[in-house]
Structure 1
Amino acid sequence: MPRVKAALVGAVVVVGLGVAVGAGAARAALSAAQDLRQAQAGLSAVRDREVDPDAARSELRRAHALVGSADEALGSWPVDVVAAVPVLGRSLDAERAVTDTADEVLTGALVLTDGLGSIRASAGGVDLAALAAVRQQLGGPAERGRSALDRLRGTSTRLTPPQVGREVTAASAALGPAVDTLERAQAGLGLAEGLLGGAGPRTLMVALQNNAELRGAGGYVSTFGTGRLQDGRLRLDPLRDVIAVADEPERARRVPAPPEFVEDYGPLSADTTIFRSWNMSPHVPDSALVGARVTGALLGTTPDVVVLVDVPALGALAELGGAAVVLPDGSQVSAEELTDALLVDAYARAGDDNDRQIERRAQLRQAAGTVVTRLLGGDLPAAEVLRTLTRLAEGRHVAVWSARPQEQEVLVDLGVAGSVEAPSGGDLLHVSTNNIGGNKLDVYAERQVSVDVRLSAGRADVTQRLSLRNAAPAGLVPYVAGTQAPGTMVDRVELSLPRSASGVTVSVDGAPRPERPSVGASRARLALRTSTSRGATTVVEVRYALELDTEVYRLRLLPQPLATEATVGISVRPADGLTGPSLVERPEPFDSVREVEVRLPR
């Protein structure tokens, strides 16, 4: 009997200790969860750009402290004991993996904000040693964050409450892109060192695209500049008018170009030293390659870095300086007014007078020169410049190309190369127009793009539509309205589709057209000619099927850079008779790259 009593007492003590330990672990886990929720709320505001840069930096530090508190709570004695118990410890293992990953993500974010915050772009150039230091400091959090994320994704949630499994999946989905961003930022800093001449001098061309006369990559290149990058410093030669260097059509020379480019745009002399149309391909890597070779043929030096910038980007970059832009006639315009001043007002003032058109082109060069001067000599925070350039690249208003394959791969991965390709196994929407009417009417175009998708098991049936309205006013001068068909928009419309699209059909204003896509290395290209008179609307519709070998439908939507953004509407739903997730969005400004994922119905 005494032995039995002793055993019962021992059991009570063990159970009591277990309850105490479990309660302690539960309190610690609850405290950690509360800290994580507070951190998430603050970070959501940073992610959604609801706070200014200084407030964002403070919020990152606060979130980092909260995550550190959560990590400490989950490393305390009661949690260690429970975590060592099979099954019981799985929930705590998962929460630990979440806090470890979040801690490294926030550590890396602070390295970036603090490190880049101290670097400035000035007349003395960019301090490449400081950039390299930030890149090296970022390496640890990026590597440890990837390791923690792999541990999180490998955490077993079997025999745990259902909510634990859902939270682990949600945390992995949220933290995965953040870890990817740290790795991309590290690669991007290394790329910047190379492009800025850290490993030897680079030759540069900056091409200014005029959105009043569209090209696939942006707009007619009327102004460009060449220069040299070395040790973080840029020496840019005076900007030039293409007319001053381009060959006359009868003396034009062809340059080597990718086969797809030759097939699509060779008949339009885009691969020649006429210069004016080398950026007809919306796939900027091809356009920039041809542009570099055309420049080399005309000037004797082939640039190995090409930067494309359009007029709206000029306005956004001018805002970094904060002051008005002074035009050659002495007038001043704000950065916000620059697009209208250069693409609408200047044409109206110049009319058909040749001297005034020369003056208008000089205005464009001077505005571009003012922006470049501000960027080079304005003592601007590198982080602010980087944020602006990133936003512009998301709308494809700025794109960068490198002749070096490894650098080009990083540019594509960072989303600043202006490439046009579908996600692996997924769908693609990109509509571009090339103005082939010899006018400047594109600033008056109103574009609406939409995509309607019906999902079934292993298949997507897709309809893409472009609605193009000619809202040009009456009374425009012939230089703007055109002389061949005054007031009429004549376009080469190009739709980029996934390579695996099948059963492709196209119609214009409801009438079937015979055109069919050409399949290339990164996309299928479907091109057709359209004509839209003043006040009229042209509707292009393409239908196709896409076989899917995953459980998720993925769609990438890429805008064409325009003076006035198009709108885009999205509808992804299960096919008739099926049930499953859906995504329906009313038309909104199409001002950045979008990635959409919807699970297929079962």
Structure 2
Amino acid sequence: MTPISGGSESSSRNHGDGASDRHGESRTRSHHHHRSSKTRRRQRRKRIITWTIVGVAAALVLSAAWVGIRAVLATNELQAAVPLASRAQDTILAGDAEQAKATADEFAGHAASAVSLTGDPIWWLYERLPLLGPNLEVLRSLAASVDRVAQGAVLPLAEAAGGVDVAAFAPAGGRIDLQPMIDLQEPMGRAAGAFDAATAMVERPGVADAEVIAPLADARDEYLALVTEARDTVDAADRAVTLLPSMLGAEGPRDILLLFQNNAELRSLGGVSSALALVHAEGGALSMTQQADSGDIGRFRDPVVALPIETRALWGDNTARYIQDVNFTPQFPLAATIAREMWKQRFGTEVQSVVAVDPVMLSYLLAATGPVTLDTDDVISADNAVQFLLVDVYARYPVAQQDAIFADAAAKAFGALTAGGADPRALVEALAKAGSERRILVWNADVEEQAVLSGTTLAGELPAGSETEQAFGLYFNDMTGSKMDPYLDVQFGADAVTCRNDRLPLYEVHVTLTNTAPADAATSLSSYVTGGGDYGTPPGSITTSVHVYGELGSYNLGVLLNDQPVGYHPTSDTGYTLSKVVSQLAPGESATYRFGFLGGEPVQKQPVIESTPLVDAPEILGVALSCESAVW
């Protein structure tokens, strides 16, 4: 039994030992399998990561290439589009409707392609990248702006040109056909809105001030200048087609008072208003029904309107007592209101509009109409009108005849304008040039009509700046009581610098005046021209009051004459800070004034000057301020 029992135990142990070996072997195999699986998973993950990286890198490379290629293509489209815009404008003005439409379509095609190339999601993502992103955003904004011009302005205007004869805008047979203007009101309004939107796309922060590569920055700045100029042109045209039909009698008879300003005796708005005319407009038909001079208007015992207190303090009651002095004030709406009331009190007609022009504007007009012959047999043209009317008349004709010559020149020019034959394009360019130089000023008694002109040079308002510009008004008034201002040479300029801890900028307006009259002017010029000393100025000398208006919120800092402090009159007008000096110069003498102003907010802006329109265009002085050169 024992052996059996022992064998049994032995067998049992042997059996147990075999099972253990098998289990160990199984565990070993399992362990090796587990390690192998982990290895394979790690390798698989590595492959996935590797291919993912490769894929992402490839995607980035491809997308970068995609964006780069599309950027080049978009740039090419814009370069092709921009010149076509001005070509389309030329063909519209030339009256070539078919070519205008074809050019507009080509322009719009390039613009639309540029927008498409810069408008996909990949482009949008790349705009979020540093350094590269701003460049892409600027390029996309340029494309969108050009497309807005194409779709909202060039195409509608080219379409409208098919039904409009540009020659119809020029008077003929004493009338102007008003229907073409009325037909253009809708497309011109759309175009003005499109240009506003297109300009805003490029002016907005993040585009206008973005740090981008030099070629793109140059293209952006050049385009912004072009689109801004075009916007202003279209805006002026929109206002014109909106307002002119009403002023020319589309809705009923109108009477317009014309003031002819004589720049030989300066006033803030141009010159003395010694010649006047009444124009009647009805359904586009124009006729000059009455003429008068300052002698016919005469002197009013009391001011014809209640003058603002500041106007009375600055210019006195004569502003509303003498027609020659209504434009002492640099605010044409006030001057026009006074002139209107004077005409009404003298002649009984209450006009609906007042328009002021000067001999320089007349010379521009004669470039479109051609020369005219006066009753004296003098021929005046674009080349000699200013010299004849502001200088030669006083040397060649007696005082009693001079006003009649001015009236005749005005009537002859008006007749040449309304009779027909004027070059339409030259006429538009002449009026636009005169308007930009403030040589045409317009006021309407109707508030809504006047609102159309608000903010334009035609309105004759005090200067208004912007977010980037600090505006100054520079106004001259003759104090000699003479016709010496053709001999007054004027130069001016301005600059700004920020030196104070409060960051308020300093502005300086520099004005240089020179009396260019001959040394013997006291005897070689007539006493009517020199004033004969009647008002305290020695014959041959020129006495001028100079008023510099600072923008609302600015402060006077003083005035220097030839770099030395000089007495001046600090005051205000309608909320504008201003500084006044009076200059008296003998023949050959010069004086340089430096007017200092402190800006009202801690932002330095570009100073711009709005000036009295002079006989000759003033030379612009180069002014470069520094904290060392500023004396305030």
Please indicate the TM-score interval, normalised by the length of the shorter structure. 0.7 to 0.9
Q: Based on CA coordinates, which of the two structures has the bigger radius of gyration?
A: 2
Matches within 5 A, 1:330-369: 330-350=377-397, 356-369=398-411
| Higher share in strand | 1
Q: Which residue of 1 aligns with 2:559?
A: 506
Structure 1 residues 112 and 495 mapped into 2: Cα distance closer, same or farther (>3 Å)? farther
Is the counterpart of residue 185 in structure 1 residue 185 in structure 2? no
Is the counterpart of residue 560 in structure 1 residue 612 in structure 2? yes
Q: Which residue of 2 aligns with 1:194?
A: 246
What is the rounded CA distance, in whole Å, between the counterparts of 2:241 and 2:194 in structure 1? 19
Contact 1:116/1:382 (CA < 8 Å) preserved in 2?
A: no
Structure 1 residues 566 and 99 mapped into 2: Cα distance closer, same or farther (>3 Å)? closer
Match of 1:120 among 165, 169, 187: 169
The CA deviation at 1:224 is 0.6
Q: Which residue of 1 aligns with 2:456?
A: 414
Structure 1 residues 442 and 152 mapped into 2: Cα distance closer, same or farther (>3 Å)? closer
Match of 2:267 among 215, 221, 226: 215
Q: Which residue of 2 aligns with 1:316?
A: 364
Is the counterpart of residue 521 in structure 1 residue 574 in structure 2? yes
Matches within 5 A, 1:25-40: 27=69, 29-40=71-82
Once superposed, what is the RMSD of the aligned Cα atoms?
Answer: 4.2
Contact 1:278/1:291 (CA < 8 Å) preserved in 2?
A: yes
Q: Which residue of 2 aligns with 1:544?
A: 597
Is the counterpart of residue 305 in structure 1 residue 353 in structure 2? yes
Structure 1 residues 521 and 107 mapped into 2: Cα distance closer, same or farther (>3 Å)? farther
Structure 1 residues 32 and 260 mapped into 2: Cα distance closer, same or farther (>3 Å)? same
What is the rounded CA distance, in whole Å, between the counterparts of 1:265 and 1:78 in structure 2? 59
Match of 1:239 among 291, 302, 316: 291
Structure 1 residues 501 and 389 mapped into 2: Cα distance closer, same or farther (>3 Å)? same
Is the counterpart of residue 463 in structure 1 residue 515 in structure 2? no
Residue type of the alignment partner of 2:455 = D
The CA deviation at 1:95 is 5.6
Q: Which residue of 2 aligns with 1:481?
A: 530
Contact 2:556/2:578 (CA < 8 Å) preserved in 1?
A: no
Q: Which residue of 2 aligns with 1:427?
A: 470
The CA deviation at 1:9 is 11
The CA deviation at 1:532 is 1.6
Contact 2:368/2:423 (CA < 8 Å) preserved in 1?
A: no
Q: Which residue of 2 aligns with 1:586?
A: none
What is the rounded CA distance, in whole Å, between the counterparts of 2:229 and 2:381 in structure 1? 37
Matches within 5 A, 1:130-149: 130-144=180-194, 146=196
Contact 2:112/2:147 (CA < 8 Å) preserved in 1?
A: no
Structure 1 residues 515 and 236 mapped into 2: Cα distance closer, same or farther (>3 Å)? same
Matches within 5 A, 1:249-328: 251=301, 254-267=304-317, 269-272=318-321, 274-322=322-370, 324-328=371-375
Deviations, residues 565-589 of structure 1 (Å, cap 9, x unaligned): 22121435564599xxxxxxxxxxx
Deviations, residues 125-164 of structure 1 (Å, cap 9, x unaligned): 222222121111233444455556666778988xx99459
The CA deviation at 1:483 is 1.5
Decide which moves more: 447-456 or 292-301: 447-456
2:250 counterpart SS class: coil
Matches within 5 A, 1:53-68: 54=94, 64-68=104-108
The CA deviation at 1:522 is 5.4
The CA deviation at 1:391 is 0.7
1:416 counterpart SS class: helix
What is the rounded CA distance, in whole Å, between the counterparts of 2:191 and 2:352 in structure 1? 33
Structure 1 residues 71 and 310 mapped into 2: Cα distance closer, same or farther (>3 Å)? closer
What is the rounded CA distance, in whole Å, between the counterparts of 1:288 and 1:401 in structure 2? 7
1:214 counterpart SS class: coil
Residue type of the alignment partner of 1:188 = A
What is the rounded CA distance, in whole Å, between the counterparts of 2:97 and 2:456 in structure 1? 23
The CA deviation at 1:393 is 1.6
Structure 1 residues 518 and 56 mapped into 2: Cα distance closer, same or farther (>3 Å)? farther
Deviations, residues 302-341 of structure 1 (Å, cap 9, x unaligned): 322111111111111112112x221222132332111111
Is the counterpart of residue 532 in structure 1 residue 585 in structure 2? yes
Match of 1:493 among 520, 538, 546: 546
Is the counterpart of residue 374 in structure 1 residue 416 in structure 2? yes
In structure 2, stretches of 5+ residues that fail to align are 1-39
1:215 counterpart SS class: coil
Q: Which residue of 1 aligns with 2:255?
A: 203
What is the rounded CA distance, in whole Å, between the counterparts of 2:51 and 2:498 in structure 1? 63
1:239 counterpart SS class: strand
Match of 2:481 among 399, 416, 438: 438
Q: Which residue of 2 aligns with 1:450?
A: 493
What is the rounded CA distance, in whole Å, between the counterparts of 2:571 and 2:165 in structure 1? 44
Contact 2:256/2:351 (CA < 8 Å) preserved in 1?
A: yes
Structure 1 residues 260 and 406 mapped into 2: Cα distance closer, same or farther (>3 Å)? farther
Deviations, residues 520-549 of structure 1 (Å, cap 9, x unaligned): 325223333332222222333322221334
What is the rounded CA distance, in whole Å, between the counterparts of 1:512 and 1:563 in structure 2? 30
Structure 1 residues 200 and 431 mapped into 2: Cα distance closer, same or farther (>3 Å)? same
1:427 counterpart SS class: strand
The CA deviation at 1:265 is 1.8
What is the rounded CA distance, in whole Å, between the counterparts of 1:443 and 1:360 in structure 2? 17
The CA deviation at 1:206 is 0.5
Residue type of the alignment partner of 2:113 = A
| Higher share in helix | 2
In structure 1, stretches of 5+ residues that fail to align are 351-355, 579-602
What is the rounded CA distance, in whole Å, between the counterparts of 1:12 and 1:372 in structure 2? 80
Contact 1:28/1:73 (CA < 8 Å) preserved in 2?
A: no
2:279 counterpart SS class: strand
Decide which moves more: 111-120 or 558-567: 111-120
Structure 1 residues 502 and 135 mapped into 2: Cα distance closer, same or farther (>3 Å)? same
Q: Which residue of 2 aligns with 1:405?
A: 447
Match of 1:393 among 410, 422, 435: 435
2:414 counterpart SS class: helix
Structure 1 residues 539 and 146 mapped into 2: Cα distance closer, same or farther (>3 Å)? closer
What is the rounded CA distance, in whole Å, between the counterparts of 2:99 and 2:49 in structure 1? 54
Aligned residues: 562
What is the rounded CA distance, in whole Å, between the counterparts of 2:494 and 2:431 in structure 1? 28
Structure 1 residues 124 and 211 mapped into 2: Cα distance closer, same or farther (>3 Å)? closer
Contact 2:248/2:283 (CA < 8 Å) preserved in 1?
A: yes
The CA deviation at 1:118 is 4.7
